[in-house]
Amino acid sequence: MALLDKIKKIDIYLDNGKTLNLVKDLKNTARSGKLVKIKKYSLKLPCQSIYSHLISMAHNADILTIYNDYKFTKKSMDFLNPFYI
């Protein structure tokens, strides 16, 4: 069984008695910070889900590890951050 298939079966029980399914619920939850920017600037863009955002961040982390031997400065890493905020 693939890892994603296993994760799809995971429910997290919250203090308020509700459950959160890691895949289904995160796919249906818009990134609130991104949604605020889309509305503020009247952009005609779809709002990325939290699930999609996590997959994108994980992919980019994998790519950046290829360059592990390079010494990134804090300034250069800060330059990449706004893309994800």
Domain boundaries, the chain: 3-83
Q: Residue 64: what pLDDT?
A: 73
Instruction: State how far the alpha carbon of 32 is from the alpha carbons of 51, 57, 80, in Å.
Output: 13, 16, 20
Q: Residue 77: what pLDDT?
A: 66
Among 54, 48, 28, 21, which Cα is nearest to 36's?
48
- Statement: the pTM of the whole predicted model exceeds 0.75: no
pLDDT tens digits along 36-76 = 777 777 877 777 787 877 777 777 777 777 766 667 776 77
Among 29, 24, 27, 26, which Cα is nearest to 8's?
24
Q: What is the number of residues in the chain?
A: 85
